Every structure is written in C-alpha cells, then in structure tokens.
Chains A and B, each alone.
Chain A
Amino acid sequence: GAVVSQHPSRVICKSGTSVKIECRSLDFQATTMFWYRQFPKKSLMLMATSNEGSKATYEQGVEKDKFLINHASLTLSTLTVTSAHPEDSSFYICSARDRRLNTEAFFGQGTRLTVV
C-alpha cells in the first residue's frame, strides 16, 4: 500500500530554536497533506491542510506564523515550528492523500517533539 514517511521520528530542541518536520509520500503523488497535533492521551487535532503549490489552510486557533507549512512538491510537505517553546512539545503527525484514490489517506509515523 501507499507509504508516507515522516522525519524525524523524535526531536529534542532548545527553547527559541526552530524545528523542521518532513512528510513525504513515497510511492504516490499527494496534492493534499494534513498536519495533526496530538497531546498525550488525546485525539488528533487538525492543524492545517497543505496544498501543493498554494498556501496552507490553517484551522482556527493555529498560529500560521509559528507553524510554517510548505508544500513545494507533490511528494513533500514540511512543518516548521518556529521559536519553539516547551508548550509546543507534542506528537505531530502528517497524512497524505493519493489523488488517484477516493478519500484514502495514509499517515506518517509521527514526530515526537520535546522542547526543553
């Protein structure tokens, strides 16, 4: 089946630094990718929808200047957490949809971000 690769799987960074998370569709073209955030023992909350070649659509309450999303190609979307704070520590997970398939979406392995 289709594979979505997310990198890194774990990252620890210092407060004030920026962290980039990559989401790649390995064997299909993804016009749309989604970024989710999951707090411990909580559900997945959609942060933004990333569309190839255009600006991302952010959900209400998500700071677009803090969570920069770039979807420069049909196989890669990146999420950059800028000026990270400890409260940004969370599990971030992306999903990508194969545009040939009807509504199917595949998820990356997730990235556990810890800001110290």
Chain B
Amino acid sequence: AQKVTQAQTEISVVEKEDVTLDCVYETRDTTYYLFWYKQPPSGELVFLIRRNSFDEQNEISGRYSWNFQKSTSSFNFTITASQVVDSAVYFCALSETYSGAGSYQLTFGKGTKLSVIP
C-alpha cells in the first residue's frame, strides 16, 4: 500500500522568507511518480510538478525548488522569497502504478497550509 505523509499541518512565514514543505512517502513499487499540487482558497488544484522515481535530479522553477531523496523517501518542496500569493494548501501526492491501459490513482498527503504574512 502506498502512503504520503505531510507532517506539517500549518506553517506561517513572513513574506520574503524561505519555507520548505516536507513530504515523505511509502511505496513498494520501484516505479512511481510524485506530485505537488497547490490548492488556493478558491479550491481548484494547481499542478506544480511531477517527478518519476528514476529521476533524482533536483528541480528549480523560479522561486520553487524540489529535493527528491530516494534514500529517505522524501520529496520536499521549497519556496524561496515567499510571497503572499503563495498562501495556499499544498498537497504532495504519489502515483504508484502506471498501466498501459492508461489509468492510475493518486494518493494524497493531508496537505500543508501555508500562510505568508505580509
């Protein structure tokens, strides 16, 4: 069975501070995919990143960066120079199986609510 743990329920930071959101996962598969989604107060889920289990390169996209550590089963997300618009709930998710038929399921962590204070 797969499991995603986001131990931080809520985080508050002052604008311009850096913040790291933790994500630890469990899976028995050797092939899997990890995701981060942002859910602003309006409710829609915004896709941020997808990473497959064979690609351990860290990724940077503007102020966002992701640190994938297979040895510790972690896929942490860092926002540098945080802004008020970053305030949202962030979900880490795991897809354990991709079948040729094209269906898969996402298991979500419980989410981390980030509040950026001006």
Chain A residues within CB distance 8 Å of chain B: 31-32, 34, 41-44, 46, 49, 51, 91, 93, 95, 97, 99, 102-110, 112
Q: Pick from B15-23, B61-69, B75-83, B100-108 the stretch touching chain A.
A: B100-108
Question: Do A46 and B44 form a contact, CB below 8 Å, given A103-B33, A103-B50, A103-B95?
Answer: no
New contact pairs (9) apart from A32-B102, A42-B110, A104-B47, CB-CB < 8 Å? A31-B101, A43-B108, A43-B109, A49-B105, A103-B104, A104-B50, A108-B44, A109-B44, A110-B44
Q: Is the CB of A112 within 8 A of B43?
A: yes
Binding site secondary structure of chain B? loop
Q: Can you list 24 pairs linking A and B with CB atoms under 8 Å apart?
A: A31-B102, A31-B103, A32-B102, A32-B103, A41-B113, A42-B110, A42-B111, A43-B91, A43-B109, A43-B110, A49-B103, A51-B103, A91-B43, A93-B43, A95-B45, A95-B106, A97-B102, A97-B103, A97-B104, A105-B47, A105-B106, A107-B46, A109-B42, A110-B44
- Nearest CB in chain B to that of A9: its residue: B43
